[in-house]
Amino acid sequence: MSGHLVITGSAGGIGRSIATKFLTNGWAVTGIDRARGTIRHDGYAHREADITDEAAVDQAFAAACERQPVMATIANAAVTDLDHRMVVDLDYDVWRRVLHTNVDGAFLTARAAARSMKNGGNIVFVTSSLAFFDHAQPNDAPYCASKSAVEMLMRVMAQELAPAGINVNTLFPSVKIATGFFAHLPDGQRAELAPSSILDETALFLCSMAAGHLTGVSLDQERWDSDPGYRARLEQGEWR
């Protein structure tokens, strides 16, 4: 199955890897990123845009729809506090920047995606295990809070968009990935980071589903890889 994917944060890391995976599987891909596009492929189109700019996001989706109907969207772009400071040492402008990008940007992306999907589709938010209560991480308050907010946004949108045939889910890794967020780690620990391609297969699965197959679910990449029963339930749409 193939179609047209719009993905944010496509210029590097997880986003670039996922975009490349879809292209090799016959999809058309439109990438949105503040940086210039780094993918050279006939099926790829790039839009330079800030996901917190409402007009720019809407224009990017309008341009994508002119290529062909949008079947799937992955809201992947995100930032973090690269200095990983405690709350008492965190500047308010850093807090606002992370929440603005990760929450407002995800909202604007998903809203534009939903408005563009006339015949159903799939919306996927890339979040983090740090979004959940039992994984709170000291020195990462803005990132944890932002991803937790996106998890709740997903649940609301899954209910609202089900009648329109749009599945809404999140996808998150339970391991640290080589994305640039962990440049502060010692060399030995950075060498152990998971590759940015870790979410490729599950992203393709979530974006290829038929309407109503699976919605309102947070897919745990680590469980998908390690627990055949968990994977089978998701593939069969028997999560509930």
Position 180 confidence tier, pLDDT thresholds 50, 70, 90: low
Neighbours of 95 (CB within 10 A): 17
Q: What is the mean pLDDT of residues 40-51?
A: 96
pLDDT single digits (tens) 115-128: 999 999 999 999 98
Measuring CA to CA, how many Å separate 46 from each of 8, 43, 92, 164, 236? 10, 10, 32, 28, 34
Domain membership of residue 165 as a residue range: 4-236
Tell me, what CATH number does 221's domain have?
Answer: 3.40.50.720
pTM of the predicted model over 0.85: yes
Q: What does each C-alpha distance from 42 to 20, 46, 70, 119, 207 come to in angstroms?
A: 12, 11, 17, 25, 21
- Give CA angle at 10 (6, 13), nearest 5°: 140
pLDDT at 107 over 80: yes
- Distance in angstroms between the alpha carbons of the first and the last residue of the chain: 25
Give the model confidence (pLDDT) of 187-218 as tens digits. 565 555 667 789 999 999 999 999 999 999 99
Q: What 3 state SS string does 58-88 have? A: HHHHHHHHHHCCCCEEEECCCCCCCCCCCHH
Is the pLDDT reported for residue 225 higher than 60?
yes
Q: Which residue has the tokens 């929440």?
A: 99
Q: Which residues share a beta bridge with 74?
A: 7, 124
CA distance readout (Å), 150 to 156, 173, 184: 10, 15, 25
Domain count, the chain: 1
